[in-house]
Every structure is written in C-alpha cells, then in structure tokens.
Amino acid sequence: MVDRLFLEKELFGRLGWFIKMRWGFIAGLLLATLLCRLFGVDLPYRGILAVGGLIFIYNLGFFLRHRAIERRGIHYAWRAQRAANLQICADYLSLTAVVHYGGGVDNPFILLYLLHVMIGSLMLRRPQVWAQGLFAFLLFLSVVLLEYHGVLPHYAVGELGPRYQSAWYILAVSAALLVTLCSLIYMSSAIIQDLRDREARITQASALLEKKSSDLEAANRELREKQHQLVQSEKLVSLGRLSAGMAHEINNPIQFIQGNMRILGEAMDSMLPVVDRHAEAHPGFKVARLSYPVFRQHIATLLKDMSSGTVRIADIVRDLKKFARSEEPSVADPVDLNESVGASLRLVHNKIKRHKVICELDPDLPRIPGSASKIGQVIVANLINAAEALGDRQDGVIELRTSTGPDGRVSLCIADNGPGMTEEVQQRLFDPFFTTKQNSGGMGLGLSVAYGIIKDHQGSIEVDSKLGEGTTLTLSFPPARSEGA
C-alpha cells in the first residue's frame, strides 16, 4: 500500500504541474487553430475557440483553488484525488468536443486520450485510472456513433471522404483505441504503482532510520550521562578509601591530643592556685609575654577551644567518610534528614561561611528510607549551588527548613536570596550537561545526578525561582514505612 502522507504531498504537487500543462495545451490549441486558418482548412473555428475558452475558464478556476490550498498549507489526499478526477473528466469532455469539431473519428487529437491516461496513472490509483480510461473511450464512441447516425453533424477535415459513415472503419479505429488504451493503462499503471510502492518503502525505511538514529542518539546521551555518573562514583570510591585512611591517621593523633588536653586541664586546675599565690607576691609576673591576669582570664577558654577544635576535626573526618563511602545505592536504610543537613553544613562550611545560614529543623521529623551518603550528596550539591549563586554579596542568606506535610511526606527546603533563574534555565535545570557555569568549569552533571538520586528514593524536587528574588528548591521524600502514617 502506498503511504497516505506520500500520496497527499505527491498528488498535490502533480496537480499543480497538470494545471501548468493545461495552459500549454490551450496555447497549442490556439496556435493549431491559427495555422489551420492560415492554410485554409475548413473547420468550425467558433466551436473550437468556444471549447478553448471553456478550458481556459475552468483551468483558471482550478489554478485559483490550488493556490488557495497551497497558501493554507493543509493537504488532504481525498480532496486532491477528487480534484484530479474532476480535472481529468473535464479534460476528457473538452477533448471529446475538440475531436467532434475537428473531424470526429479522423481527428488526430484522439492521441490526447492516451496522454491523459498516462497523466491519470501518475496521479490516481489503478482502479480510478481504469474507470477514467473507460469513460474516455465511451465518450469517443458516443461521438462517432452519434455522427454515424446523423444525430450530430460531422465536420470533415480536408478531403478524407465519408469514412465516418463506414461501420468497419469506425469499428477498427474504436477497437484500436480501446486496445491501445487498455494496454497503456495496464503498463503505465503497473509501472507507476511499482514506483510508488518502492518510493513508499523508501520513505518508511527513511522514517524508521530516523527513529533508530534518534533512539541511538538518546541511548548515547544516556550512556554518556551514566559514564559520567560512574566516573563520579569511582571518584567517590577513591575518596572514601582516602577518607578511611585519613580517619585512621588523623583519629589516632586526635585521640592523643584529646587525652593530653584532659590531663592538661586537670594539671591547670591544680597549678593555678599555686601560680595565683606567686602572682600575688610578684605583681609584674607574666606568662607567655602576657600579664598574669590576662592569662588567667583566657586560659580556660583557650583550653576549651582547643578541645572543641579536636572534636570538630573528628566530626569532619567522620562526615567526609560517610559522605564519600563506597556503597550500593540502597534506599532501605532509615535516614535522619536533620542529621544529613548538619553533616552537609559541616562539609561545606568553608564555602558558605561568608553568608548567613538559617536552619529551621523540625525536631520531630520522621526518618526517611534511603542512603545517607546519597542524600548528603544532594544537599551538598544544592548548598554549593546556593553559595555560588550568592557570590560575594554581603547580605547573602541561605535558609534550610525541614518539615512534615499533611500526607506524611518529609520535605527539605533550601532557599537563597540570589539573582534567581529565568524560565528557560528552570526548564533545563535537570538536563544532563546543561550548565550556566561553563567559564568556571561546570559540566552540568550536579543537579542531573541529584535529580536521579531523588527519583531513586521515590522523592520529588521542585524549583521556585524568580529573577532578582532568589531560588527555593524543595526536596520531598516518603517517610520510612515503620514511621509512616
């Protein structure tokens, strides 16, 4: 079967070509009439010119209709086929009139029936071509029979004699025309139909190839995304191993320092009364180039800060190890979202310390099923994006809020008062390799990977951003089953 879209486009184009060809026929008819008149051929010129004028009028109508449809740009196969049938039928009627006025059975314009058969084969389906050929033959046969019986006058061409009154001559010409018509219809329609079928198959194969190419491109794009995710995972695995080694190497001296700090604190508690009495006896007494009262006032704070610093170092190493540890993307472990927020804030402290950070964490927040390290990656990525959006502005604010919705879903909102995003950027925010930070080396994978992690946790991520006002990202997760509503 010929593809319908192929028929619509091809048939409409061939109709325009057919209309142009008819203009040429009208010019040829006028030229032939003029030559016959110049050479003194006796013909009913008024009738022939009337037929030519009729052809001109209906061809003008076909031309205007075709242009109107072409401007609208809407093509329908059934309309084009109806127009083609109408035009060919009109031409057969006009051609039969020309045959009648130009000598009837002796008219050489009979060959134009064959031309229209070939044109019909190019424009119509095979059954329609056969019907049109039969219609043309019946028109010709009707005219010659009506002339034979004297119903219509016969216009002789030259000195051909009364051959139109010979039944055998009419039968021979009619049979020859019928055989020629049938043979031509069979051969031309078979050839054209085969060409149409082949072209339709080529069109379908081309469409299939385009679809395969599109699918392959999508697969390659997904493969590149997975490859980059794998590279990132490998980096995290290496970071996890490095963090494990760092934790072991750092925790030992940290524990040593913490133990010594406790001993030093106890020693200071025992030594200070003795030093106090010495300072009373020697008013100018100094410790580490500081007057003793200043040293006495700040020594406890110094020791406390040192102890707190060692605890912070241990926490950072533990958070880094947890963030980058090698693990399968399991979403079955219960995760404390508030704890993940705190760990992420400690990891990016140096990145966001110039901005004001506001945390409103729900203390009764239920746990969510998932991977603490993966969720930490999402929070860290969004905190870094918020800090980079704020840049060096002095009034930058980053807000983090956790809450539980009426449906039991757990939400985390990360908001900033940065420049915001355009609608176009928001629509492509989670597309792989889309980034607005090309100059700073951005690859456009951070939020794409984050989006994939959220989806793996059956969660959702929403973006609300307005230019000049800032951006709010809302992460939503289902609660753990044991704690669900």
What does the pLDDT read at residue 332? 67
pTM: 0.42
What does the pLDDT read at residue 108? 74
- Helix 372-390 / helix 446-456 crossing angle, nearest 10 deg: 140
Q: Where are the domains of the chain?
A: 4-165, 328-485
What does the pLDDT read at residue 445? 43
CA-based max dimension of the chain: 161
How many CB atoms sit inside 10 A of residue 458's CB? 14
Q: Which residue has the tokens 């792989």?
A: 432
What does the pLDDT read at residue 400? 93
Residues 6+ apart with CB under 8 A from 56: 26
What does the pLDDT read at residue 430? 66
Q: For residue 221, what are its two tokens?
A: 């794009």
Is there a contact between 26 and 56 (Cβ–Cβ < 8 Å)?
yes
- Helix 372-390 / helix 337-347 crossing angle, nearest 10 deg: 50
Gap between the Cα atoms of 465 and 467, Å rounded: 7
What does the pLDDT read at residue 228? 67
Rounded mean pLDDT for each run of 10 residues along the chain, 485 residues in total:
54 80 86 84 80 88 83 65 83 85 77 81 82 88 86 71 74 88 85 79 85 87 74 62 67 77 82 83 81 81 78 69 54 82 85 88 89 84 86 88 90 90 75 53 54 82 86 88 50
The type of residue at 99 is V
What does the pLDDT read at residue 2? 44
Is there a contact between 409 and 478 (Cβ–Cβ < 8 Å)?
yes
The type of residue at 465 is S
What does the pLDDT read at residue 410? 92
Residues 6+ apart with CB under 8 A from 243: 317, 320, 321, 324, 325
- DSSP letter string, 39-107: TT----HHHHHHHHHHHHHHHHHHHHHHHHHHHHT---HHHHHHHHHHHHHHHHHHHHHHHHHTTGGG-
Gap between the Cα atoms of 84 and 54, Å rounded: 18
Please check whether the domain covering 328-485 is classified as CATH 3.30.565.10. yes
